[in-house]
Structure 1
Amino acid sequence: MAQFESHFPLKNTRTHEVCGASAYAFAYALAGQVCGANGGAALWVREAWHGTQINPVGGAVYLDPSQLLIAQAPRHIDVLASTEEALRSGHVAVVIAELTQPIGLTEGRRLQLAAQEGNATGLCILPEGMGNNAAQTRWHCTPVFDEGNTAEDSTLQNWKLIKNKSGTLAAWTVKWNAQTRRISVVSPTAQR
C-alpha cells in the first residue's frame, strides 16, 4: 500500500480524519503527495452554506490547481453520499470531505469500504471532538509559532497522531518543501 510519507502511517485505500487549525494544510499536503505520486485528481466536498470558499490557486504550493475539483452539497448527508460515491468510483485519487457534524459508525464504515473498492484515499476534516471509530487514523494539526525563529518559514506545523488503528501514536513538527513538494520532518531545536 502506498503511504503519505515514510514517516506517517496514512495508508492508501483507507479513510482518515484531521482536525485543528492546520487541518486544511494537512489536507492539501495529502492531496499533493497522493496526486503528485500517481497524477490523479483530488475532490474536495463541502456543504454549500459555508461563507468561505476553497481557492485552488491558494493551495498551489501543495497541489496543481488543475488537479483539484471542488463540489458543494446542500446538506451534511449529501456531503457523505458524494464522498462515498467519489471514493468508490476509482476516478479520483483523494477525496476530502469537509464535515460540520459528527458521522456515525455506519457512515464511517461505508467510507472505508468505498475507499478500498475505489483504491482511493479519503480524508474527513472535522471539528475537534467529532471523530469516528471507523477512521483508520485521526490527526490533530496546529501551526508552530516560534518567536525566536529568524528564518522566513511560516510553514512549520505540529502533526499529532491521536488515533491509529494499526500502530502507535506520535507527533511530528513538519514543514512543506515547495520545491520538492514533500513534507520534511523538522528536528527540535537544541537548547544551549
Structure 2
Amino acid sequence: MGKRLLGRGFFARNVVEVARDLIGATLLVDGVGGMIVETEAYDREDPASHSYSGPTARNRVMFGEPGHAYIYRSYGIHWCVNFVCRSGVGDGLATGAAVLIRAIEPTQGIAAMVERRGLSNPLQLCAGPGRVCQALGLSIAHNGLPLDEPPFLLLGADAPQPIASGPRIGISKGVETPWRFGLRGSRYLSKRFASVPVRAS
C-alpha cells in the first residue's frame, strides 16, 4: 500500500500527540476497515478516563505496554476500541492513557461491514465508536492484543492532514478538554466540529 506500518513505538508517546497523528492513518482488522477520521485522547489524570481511579480488572490493559488494543463495552451495549499510549503526566513515561477511535471512513471490506451493521449507507457504517467495532468485528476477544500483529494492521497517513479539535463527546467529566480530533471536512465523522482546525501538520 506504500504506507508505513505503525509499530508499538508510535504509541509510546504523549496520548494527545498520538490522537492527532492517527488522523489519516489506516486501520484494518482482518482486511476490513479504512481511514481513521476521528479520535479522542484520555489521560490517566483525566477525570473522564477509565484509568483515573487506578488499575482495575476492566482497565488493566491501559496500564500495560503501549501499542495494544483496549476494548470495553459502553452502556452494556456497544464495544469501543482504544489504542494504549503513554500518558502526558509527569515525565511522559507513565501508562494509563489511550486513544478512543471514534470514526473511520470505510474503504476496504465494505460488504462485510454492511452485513455486520445491517445497513448500506457508507456515512453511517463507522460513524461512532460502537459502530466502528461492530463494522470491524471487534469485541472483548480482541482486548489486549498488539496493534502491530494480525488481525490488526495500522498504516500511517500518506500525507499531513488538516485537523480540527474540540470537546469530547458523551462524557460528564472533563467536558471542556479539547481532546477530540478529526479530519477537517470529513463526511464520516460521528459529529461535526464547531471549532476551527488547529493545524495542518
Q: Given the two structures, how large is their TM-score scaled by the length of structure 1?
A: 0.28
Greater relative CO, 1 or 2 (CA 8 Å, sep 6+): 2
TM-score norm. by structure 2 comes to 0.28
Q: Which has the larger radius of gyration?
A: 1
